[in-house]
Amino acid sequence: MIPASDIDKLLLSFCDVRWLKVARIIGKAIQTFESRGVRVAADELDARMAILVGARALEAKGDIRNWRHSEVRLPSTLE
């Protein structure tokens, strides 16, 4: 089992201060884990993404459970 902190670090590493589709970030995370020979369920990544948004480590637009129609970004310090 992958520690939640490792999943969070990986998800955050694919984020930026500009808005990016949730599908893109989760897709990259799945590819990265698969390239390491690690299987991780998409719903686990989805849950961690929701936790990061809830903890305000990420800002979100739209319903992040609908990956293709929502976006996240790192919090902006300029606003």
Give pTM, 2 decimals: 0.91
Residue 62, SS3 per DSSP? coil
Distance CA 63, CA 55 (A): 16
Which residues 6+ apart lie within 8 Å of 62 measured at CB? 69, 70, 71
Q: What b-and-e string marks burial along 15-24, b requiring 16 or more CB atoms within 10 Å of the CB?
A: beeeebebee
Q: Give the Å distances, CA to CA, from 47 to 44, 54, 78.
A: 5, 10, 28
List the chain domain ranges: 4-70
Q: Mean pLDDT across the stretch 23-27? A: 97
Dump pLDDT digits (tens) for 26-67: 999 999 999 999 999 999 999 999 999 999 999 999 999 999
Phi, psi of 43 (to 5 degrees): -70, -25
